[in-house]
Amino acid sequence: MSANAAELVAGLLLLFFVPGYTLTKATFPEWRVRGPVATLRLIEIFTLSFVLSIVLTVLVGYVLLSVGPYGFQAFWSDPLLETVLAVLAGIAFVAGWLRGAYGTTPPSPTPVDAGEEAPPWPLVQELDELRREERRVRHGLRQVPAGSPEAVQLREELDRIQAEATRLKAGREEEYAG
């Protein structure tokens, strides 16, 4: 690869990817390309990186055009645009590093202030657990004879699980209504 080709690749990455990628990682440090949503997350990161890089390039070019006494003129001998984009990418990289974006484990979510309403995630998790239990009990009911003592016990457990789920949903609806 010649020097001109290397400069071209570095310039294209700097204009179309790196600033947006570092800004994306600084903004969303908890995003990881793993698990069942890895492909979707990868597409989101690359798309957001590309779009943000173009936006930053246009904004920096506009500022340089407005600030300079004779306007902005892009010359290979004066890579002012690339320098400013590299500095912005460096700042975003440091911010992302401090927020834990480049670690192996994602940072923990920020705590909710005491004055704000509690997030619904614990309720959602508890309802998911109840749904799993309900599926387990229903499967057990299909496996045992209908009139057996075990079937009666499983039916009571199923009723208890459904009543608990109904109670949790009604409590959350009361919170919203009140």
Reported as a single tens digit per residue, the pLDDT across 133-177 is 999 999 999 999 888 999 999 999 999 999 999 999 888 888 877
Q: Of the residues 65, 99, 133, which one is the last residue of a structural domain?
A: 99
- The answer on 132 and 94 residing in a single domain is no
Model pTM?
0.58
For residue 130, pLDDT beyond 60: yes
- The answer on 144 and 63 residing in a single domain is no
Boundaries of domain holding 158: 121-177
For residue 102, pLDDT beyond 60: yes
The residue with greater pLDDT, 112 or 153, is: 153
- Give per-residue pLDDT as tens, 135-147: 999 999 999 988 8
Distances in Å between the alpha carbon of 169 and those of 20, 133, 134, 135, 156? 41, 16, 16, 18, 20
For residue 3, pLDDT beyond 70: no
- Give per-residue pLDDT as tens, 67-101: 877 766 666 567 888 889 999 999 999 999 999 88
Q: Of the residues 69, 99, 129, which one is the last residue of a structural domain?
A: 99
Query: CA-to-CA distance for 31 and 44, rounded, in angstroms?
Result: 10
Q: Is residue 60 part of a domain?
A: yes
Q: Of the residues 50, 67, 99, which one is the last residue of a structural domain?
A: 99
- The number of distinct structural domains making up the chain is 2
